[in-house]
Structure 1
Amino acid sequence: MIKWIAAFLGYFLFRFPGAVLGFIVGSFLDNFGGSGNRTRTVFENVTRQSVSPADFELNLLSLCSIIIKADGQVNQRELDYVRQYFLSTYGKEKANAIFRTFNQVIKKREISAERICSFMVQRTRYEVRLQLLHFLFGIAQSDGQVSKAEAQKLKEIARYLRVGQHDFESIMAMFIKSADTAYKILEIEKTATDDEVKKAYRTMAKKYHPDRVVTENEAIRKGAEEKFKEVQKAYETIQKERGLS
């Protein structure tokens, strides 16, 4: 029950990325009932098969802190973005407790993104990791733009999360707009012929069609719908630009 409440609150505030993260965190709370020793370090259980909510929270916050610090400064709008998500998920009292820990995490000089991502890879499906990356892009953009340093760090995290290059570039194109954004979403070059554009659209539409995502996870299913809409929007943009029928 907690996972669905968290997913709903996350979706209400941050759309699909918030729903996914809310579902993940809520699932941990459902499964472990709030048990766990908060005195353990962030990375102590990376290789263990079980994990407490406290461990998950700290690893998630650590990834957030890596993005927030990527450009060499701590931006208040990015902090507020993360804080608002945890407030919506846990409520004021617990969120404040989490952020007391977060204040310590964000002051750490070195946090191993590779080790945290190893933790995530072992415990989440590929579709969920795509949405985690989407959420991290949201943090980076919350101050108005994704800096070069943030983009580079996100690329590094994507590699550790074992996210494919084409999937990474497709997600990035949703946050970093350019003249060829629509083409990047369809995973083709701007020099592609009209026939290649149509073929790419058919391929991507098939790849991201919601019917292909067989899952009981409502958040993942909605994510497929969102991606499908982005693919359609990209194709419509190119159609208009080229006068395609």
Structure 2
Amino acid sequence: MLTGVQAVLFDKDGTLFDFAASWSAWAAALLHRLSDGDTARAAAMAQAIRFDLAAGQFLHDSPVIAGTMDEPVRLLAPFLPDWTADALKTYLFRSAALAEMVPPVPLAPLMQGLRARKLVLGVATNDAESIARDHLTRAGILDQFAHVLGYDSGFTPKPAPDMLLGFANFTGLEAGRVVMVGDSTHDLVAGRAAGMQTVAVLTGMATQADLAPYADLVLPDIGHLPQALA
């Protein structure tokens, strides 16, 4: 049961955007480009980031799913001796910013409806802030959010609560009046640690059984959020 909510803080990947629909094709194309036609290298890199090349999707235990951009850089760098870590990170940033994000529901009317309820909206993602802003801009909803925070915005990434507490501080709201909406245990553990209410959605790679112990509510997707808040 959600009570007294004054703000909604969204995760991005797997929450505002369906994770598999948004990132699987991007990852497959990335591995193809980086391997430069070397199928053995592509297979080794896929194994490192826990990506099933045959199925074209991330495995549920992939550290890339809820991690920061530093994770794929760390995992892929050993297979790319001709790349510096900085060059690889820059390449991944540019590539990720252009990834085609697929929302689970129409986002603009949903965000406008939440704003009409006088709710403050924000984003707290383990992606980079610049990439998040690019994705939200292309989705036509960047202006709906009071604050967009990434792993490189000056806070310890989730599952630490720092980013979430930063949002509460920026808005001047009590943490208990904020609901954290996410698709991973990282999101929900951070929300609980921050003293926020927590809502899980099933548009990421985690199951209801994974998320339920950490969530006040589990919803199919964020399109069910207005009813839950009512």
Would you say same fold, with TM above 0.5? no
Instruction: Judging by fraction of residues, say which structure has more strand.
Output: 2
Query: Which of the two has higher C-alpha Rg?
Result: 1
- The two structures have a TM-score, normalised by structure 2, of 0.31
Instruction: Judging by fraction of residues, say which structure has more helix.
Output: 1
